[in-house]
Amino acid sequence: MQLWPIQLDLELLLWFGFLICGGLLAVFRDWRITLPALLGEYLLLAALLARFPTVFVPHDLVFGTVSLSSFVLVKAVTGLTVVGILAFTVLLRRRVHALEQEASLDEVTAARLRWTMRRLQRRARPRFQLPAYLLTTFYLAVLILITYTLAVLYPLVRNPVLPEQGGSLWFYVDLVWYWLGLSGLFILLFAREMQEVSVGLLLCIASVDLLYMALSKNVGLLAIALLSAVSILLALGSAYIALLFYARLQRWELPSVEDWE
């Protein structure tokens, strides 16, 4: 079954995976959801690169009967490293906050404080806001429509220079790099924290990286490693800025209710 230019094949499944991961990153704010979704984006990107013809992505690694490209391995390692840095930042921030609260307290008072904080967090937990999620879902639907329209009207990858052995692969490459760039910009526009800003920038870099690999024949491993290094440095920089800002915020002495009165 074929719905031109969409064909029901492995590339279509990868495209659905990109849509799901991008939707999770745009709709949800919880790091337990966004970080696995970001890792999924990188793993799907590595799987898409594995589908490239050997003239673009040479299979220079052999594991028994399985041949693999070093480019695919670099992308997978980059995703694991970036997500590991962001996850470590979140856990470290929560740990620093807990240590600062309990630094000047005895064991019994600290235990009571932890118990009180859990009760307050359960009561103050934000309720499910259906209109906000519906509005974000509507924006995502419009974004998907724009992505498909741009990939059909302005294909930058599908041209006569590229080999025909890719089949419908090049159309999906156009879809994916447009989707990564537009979803990254969408997350940047609605970002509330530094981590969300870094996720949006990482998606934009991944979009440029994919387009560069699709348009450049015989691309070197050094160039791909440098682009991956930019993503890792971006994750490290955002983690440092987030921890620095959070540490400064913890040192601020806010006035009490009596001082306001």
Would the pLDDT of 120 be above 60?
no
Two tokens, residue 168: 């419908």
CB atoms within 10 A of CB 239: 21
- Over the stretch 217-236, which tens digit does the pLDDT of each residue have? 666 778 888 888 999 999 99
Classify residue 79 by burial, with Cβ atoms within 10 Å: 0-12, 13-18, 19+: buried
Cβ contact 65:6 at 8 Å: no
Predicted local distance difference test score (pLDDT) of residue 121 = 53
Cβ contact 72:223 at 8 Å: no
Domain edges within the chain = 2-15+24-250
Predicted local distance difference test score (pLDDT) of residue 31 = 85
Summary mean pLDDT of the chain: 77
Tell which wins on pLDDT, 67 or 42.
42
CB atoms within 10 A of CB 217: 12
Predicted local distance difference test score (pLDDT) of residue 253 = 46
Rounded CA-CA distance 201/239 in Å is 13
Report, as an integer, the average pLDDT of 141-163.
Answer: 80
- Over the stretch 60-70, which tens digit does the pLDDT of each residue have? 777 767 777 88
Rounded CA-CA distance 18/219 in Å is 24
Predicted local distance difference test score (pLDDT) of residue 146 = 94
Tell which wins on pLDDT, 209 or 94.
209
> What ranges in 103-220 are assigned the alpha helix state H?
107-123, 130-153, 169-189, 194-215
Report, as an integer, the average pLDDT of 92-115.
Answer: 55
Two tokens, residue 37: 């979704």
- Over the stretch 178-231, which tens digit does the pLDDT of each residue have? 999 999 999 998 888 888 899 999 999 999 989 888 887 666 778 888 888 999
How confident is residue 261, by pLDDT bands cut at 50, 70 and 90?
Answer: very low
Highest mean pLDDT among 58-62, 78-82, 117-121: 78-82
57: which DSSP letter? Answer: S
* Positive or negative: CA dihedral 224, 227, 233, 239: negative
Rounded CA-CA distance 25/76 in Å is 19
How confident is residue 90, by pLDDT bands cut at 50, 70 and 90?
Answer: confident
Weakest mean pLDDT among 48-62, 162-176, 246-260: 246-260
Predicted local distance difference test score (pLDDT) of residue 11 = 84
Going by C-alpha positions, the residue among 159, 210, 158 that lies closest to residue 184 is 210
How confident is residue 142, by pLDDT bands cut at 50, 70 and 90?
Answer: very high
The helix/strand count (H/E) of the chain reads as 9, 4
Rounded CA-CA distance 188/204 in Å is 10
